[in-house]
Structure 1
Amino acid sequence: MKTQGQPLLGALTREFERVYLEVCARGYEVLERTRANHPATRDNPWQHQPAWPPSYEAYGRYRFLDTLRKAREHAASRVLEIAGGGGFTAACIYEDGREVVLNDMRPLHEELGAWTTGERLRWEGGNFFELQPERLGAFDLVVACEVIEHVAHGDQMLAHLRRFLRPGGVLLLTTPNGAYFRSKLPTHSQVKDFAALEAWQFRPDADGHLFLYTPGELERLCRQVGFSQVDVELSVTPFLSGHAGFRFLPSRSTLAPLYLSLDKWARRLGPTARERLCTQMLVTARAP
């Protein structure tokens, strides 16, 4: 598939760390999907300002790029992203010859104008539970970033999204790791009454998290609704996020490669340690 001359996005799957450090140095505008001086992004620090680990901003950049990396690994002709916020992820997933359908509950006309490929995204508004595959068609890839922790009935969400996938299509979702040692929310298996959470679902940001999933819980739930080949990747230790007081470590460009190396080292300590040390979870599940 032809790219649009985006060297960093094109290098993401081969040189992830290089791209990550570039984004830490200059913000998301380095990906060349942001229109210069657009009012929606002109003063947005994520787009234009540096942020080095350990910090929340460096964690957010890693999570975003890791999602793009995984999405770009799939040769998807049709992509659906649900609850896509301002549409920047979808704008970065778009390539020539690829159709990207973007869903969100809010009108996104102003935000889509901020992205160089935003006008080529097809926007579908409303609650994603109201979307129907009979109207939208089938997709090779469905993306759901930081959504399932805001939904009372995750099994219903997964079953609904599976309906949009062609045979062999992939669901890609990201969510905080409920097994992380700093997590204070209950996990899926600890919730006694999911119906009681319905009044609180779909609220944005971390305040809207109803509960979290451990890797094992989410893998089992994916398989229960009919997905196969479920893979869970864990990432982002305090060396990047700044959690557990690591934010007080010196944060500068010369130390960022060291923190990346320490993060990789911590994630090699074994599955139990990885579940406790990593705050972020990326799951891919294939439709049979």
Structure 2
Amino acid sequence: MKRVTPEPNWPDSWKYSYTYDLLEIYGETNHQGYAYAYANRRRHILELIQKVAKPGAKVLDVAAGQGNFSLMLAELGYEVTWNDFREDLIDYVKLKREYGTINYVPGNVFSVSFDFDFDVVLIAEIIEHVAHPNEFLNKIAQMVKPGGYIIMSTPNGEYFQNRLPKFSECQDPSVFESMQFQPDADGHIFLLHLDEVKLIAQQANLSILETRLFNNTLTNGYLKSRNLFKVMPHNWINVCEKFTNQLPVILQRKVHSSMAVLLLNLND
């Protein structure tokens, strides 16, 4: 992936995307908690994709934004389709591309059509931004080949600091339709709990093969723990993450702010 240098004439969407590349890719940030959390999420997502699909497999990256997962997967040898409703980001992604196959299909994933079904669909940090996560997952399942996979990452609703409502307790999710698809944490509507993930997966005829909980309070920089990054060696922070990954699941649900889920499509 090429490193880009911002230009004064860049569109605002490019400049906005570049600020996230500084955090997520280039490591130039004072918010080390975000950088650690993103690195953990990236590692888990790539491990899960490589676990179920070999290079050459067709991968759809939904709401891919500045395209970092698309670019990384293309460089690993996958045939990637980048999707986002912000069509103007296509040229920004192309600016960073070094090699690999990427197709570009802009548009709202609820209404866009693709020429084929995919071996893998990646929905990274998306489902918490939609008013009807059950309908969204059902739509995504229709894009996956029979026996194909969905890799989903999303904040963990059971994390002890979460204050957002459960989707299953909302009587009328349509009241949130006007605010869906908004970026960043300000656009989060629901944070799913593990029991809700299981329920909406079953409704879409998907089987959960693996769930990973990660990013504890230290590694995500919450509760002012980001101040510790100035004095703690990198490997100590990773040791702390490994320790909480070994806790009983009932505790992991409370101390980890993120989850990644591997889903198998059971539809014919």
Q: Tell me the TM-score normalised to structure 2 length.
A: 0.86
- Contact 1:53/1:240 (CA < 8 Å) preserved in 2? no
Q: Secondary structure at 2:199's aligned position in 1?
A: helix
Match of 1:141?
A: 120
CA–CA distance in 2 between the matches of 1:237 and 1:125? 34
Change in CA separation of 1:36 and 1:139 when aligned onto 2, cut-off 3 Å: same
For residues 221-272 of structure 1, what are the alpha-carbon distances to aligned partners after superposition, in whole Å with 9 as ceiling and x for unaligned? 10121002442210010121121232232435x6111111112112222011
Query: Which stretch of the first structure deviates more once superposed, 180-189 or 115-124?
Result: 115-124
1:249 aligns with 2:217: no
- Report the Cα offset of residue 48 of structure 1: 2.9
Match of 1:172?
A: 151
CA–CA distance in 2 between the matches of 1:269 and 1:52? 30
Match of 2:109?
A: 128
Q: Secondary structure at 2:191's aligned position in 1?
A: coil
Identify the match of residue 39 of structure 2 among 61, 79, 87. Answer: 61
1:106 aligns with 2:74: no
CA–CA distance in 2 between the matches of 1:284 and 1:208? 24
- Report the Cα offset of residue 113 of structure 1: 2.4
Identify the match of residue 242 of structure 2 among 249, 255, 264. Answer: 264
Match of 2:66?
A: 86
RMSD (CA atoms): 2.3
The count of aligned residue pairs is 253
For residues 94-128 of structure 1, what are the alpha-carbon distances to aligned partners after superposition, in whole Å with 9 as ceiling and x for unaligned? 14753211110012232122323478311111100
- Contact 1:237/1:266 (CA < 8 Å) preserved in 2? yes
Match of 1:236?
A: 215
- Report the Cα offset of residue 176 of structure 1: 0.3
For residues 127-164 of structure 1, what are the alpha-carbon distances to aligned partners after superposition, in whole Å with 9 as ceiling and x for unaligned? 000123xx421111000111101111111111111111
Q: Tell me the TM-score normalised to structure 1 length.
A: 0.80
Question: Is there any run of 5+ residues in structure 2 with no aligned partner, and where?
Answer: 8-13
Match of 2:251?
A: 273
